Structure 1
Amino acid sequence: MEENKMAKSLTLTVVANMTANYSEGLGNISSVQKVYKNGKVYSIKSRESLKNAIMVQSGMYDDLQTEVDGATQKVANEKLNASNCRALEGGYMYTKGNTYVRNSSFYLTDAVSCESFVNETRFHNNLYLAMTTAKSKNINLQNNAKDAGLMPYQYEYDKSLKVYSLTIDLEMIGKDENFCNEENYQEASKEEKAERVKSILGAVESLSLIVKGNLDNAEPLFVVGGLSDRKTHYFENVVRVENQKLVISKDLKERLAKGYYAALVEGDNFVNESDIKLELNPMSVTSFFDKLREDVDKYYEV
């Protein structure tokens, strides 16, 4: 790969064990979001859901300001824009008065399951709450289930290995072309740019999700990537998992050899863990993200 000064993006492809998110429900029945490809159905964690989780957990949304103009939207103007507001790095469309649109500085794919979907339905109810209500109303729960608010419900459940990619446009961080001609406009400092990128990396490294009230550890089990001179999901098409095995293809090894890194969480999350260690020589996930943070600091010269 070219020297850091020639890099234009930071790209990652991640394999993580995560829960799918949910689509529209029908009555008391919730179904996971799915995608149809190659003649099969796969569960997914949508790119929108992933992006929101990363923005929240990275602290990038800590300075978010919103207002309603037909719909709730992020506030963006000559005084508050991507140069001085981290929340706007994720992109915005602001329509109050003049319409301003800025694309996101980083892009995600859906996290798609590595195996086709097999329905596991879970059945629940709010029996204890209904019992408490029946007792307070002095009614019989069996005879007055509706008055006590007893409600059974069910939902599809999926937690499986999923693959997603993230690419950060390093040249776009901390800039807002909508307001660059304003008199009081100042581009974010190089220190601030580096911190924004590292905040996103930190969220990916320890990503956790709350789905149906349950805490879901979505940290990377395998990850590959680094600084790139191409603004694309460079490893999207070469990271595959089949039957709990990471596919160690010639293309994956050739791309990895161009100055990128790979990392693995040891613990037999892949049945061919020994082959991964032998052929890809991965570092630990902690070392991987530490190295990326060092590369980001060097890129922004901080």
Structure 2
Amino acid sequence: MKNKALTLTVVASMTSNYGEGLGNVGSVQKVYKNGKAYAIRSRESMKNAIMVQSGLYDDLKVEQDGKVDQKAVSKDINVANNRALEGGYMSTIGDRKIRRSSFYLTDAISFYPFVNETRFHNNLYLAQTFAKENGINIQEKAANAGLMPYQYEYDKSLKRYSITIDLDKVGIDENYDTKAEKGERAYRVKALLNAIKNLSMVVRGNMDNAEPIFVVGGIGDKKTHYFENVVHIEANKLKIEEDLKAKLKEGYRAALLKGYNFENENEIEAELNAGSVDEFFANLSKEVDEYYESIEN
């Protein structure tokens, strides 16, 4: 059972993150394919959200090399005993040391071309309160009252992302020749899975539910985003192609959050033998425990 990876491809309805702003205008991050723009949530944003919500960043320690912040790493603080380092590190203090992440994410990219929906806001109530307390006529001196209108692009759409965890590298730090116990290694993987299952993000002050509405994958020999190229949506239907079904037969599973998120939910259940999302992650967590119990520590 050695040399295994856990790979998932997830479809979720989520917002995008924002790139560089111009004045008081916030712009959604996008990628361009085939002459069209698609909104995304970057892999860096996804990784940070998953690390935070999994609790793996709870013991994060930060140090500075000059003015550059970086994760604290030493003989006493390494991957084996510090969960925050599981996502990789580069230490430039003393001898330069690099430990790559044990898991990898893709960008979460929308299935549909971006349609600009601009939202307009202001801080009128705060400005009115300040103006009243300081005797300012907000109609004549809006700037003195701190009135600031702003706008931003908005996107919440079905997006696909993939995550692959190298089970044989979790909890191991070759720079310091250390390794976490099997139970700890299993805990970290299950913490990542739990974060993915219940993923949410706060975007511009709004709570965004990014839980999976469709997920496919599991533990196998493929240390790559194995389902990334076979999960597609067209006209609000999950496309069920022969290649997707063939990959599933290699010991992987699919799951669906029923709620009319897709027009062909019955077909998905029948053709892909898709169970519930709760059962999918519960079974996968058991398989993670079994995998680590089967290997030498």
TM-score (norm 1): 0.96
Distance in 2, Cα, partners of 1:157 & 1:193: 39
Matched with 2:105 is: 108
Residues 115 and 243, structure 1, Cα contact 8 Å, conserved in 2: no
Matched with 1:82 is: 79
Partner SS state of residue 64, structure 2: strand
Distance in 2, Cα, partners of 1:52 & 1:276: 31
From 258, 262, 281, give the equivalent of 2:273: 281
Which residue identity is paired with 1:148? A
Q: 1:49 Cα deviation (Å)?
A: 0.1
Partner SS state of residue 147, structure 1: coil
Matched with 1:225 is: 217
Q: Percent identity?
A: 63
Q: 1:301 Cα deviation (Å)?
A: 0.7
| Aligned: 1:10 with 2:6 | yes
Distance in 2, Cα, partners of 1:112 & 1:244: 16
| Aligned: 1:24 with 2:20 | yes
Which residue identity is paired with 1:19? T
Q: 1:35 Cα deviation (Å)?
A: 0.2
Q: 1:77 Cα deviation (Å)?
A: 1.1
After TM superposition, list the pairs within 5 Å mapping 1:95-244 onto structure 2.
Answer: 95-180=92-177, 186-244=178-236
Q: 1:18 Cα deviation (Å)?
A: 0.1
Q: 1:7 Cα deviation (Å)?
A: 4.9
RMSD of aligned alpha carbons: 0.9
Distance in 2, Cα, partners of 1:139 & 1:77: 56
Which residue identity is paired with 1:53? A
Matched with 2:255 is: 263
TM-score (norm 2): 0.97
Structure 2, unaligned stretches of length 5 or more? none
Residues 102 and 176, structure 1, Cα contact 8 Å, conserved in 2: yes
Matched with 1:54 is: 50
Partner SS state of residue 57, structure 1: helix
Partner SS state of residue 301, structure 1: helix
Runs of 4+ displaced beyond 4 Å: none
Q: How many residues align?
A: 293
Matched with 1:41 is: 37
Moved more, 131-140 or 153-162: 131-140
Distance in 2, Cα, partners of 1:281 & 1:173: 30
Which residue identity is paired with 1:138? G
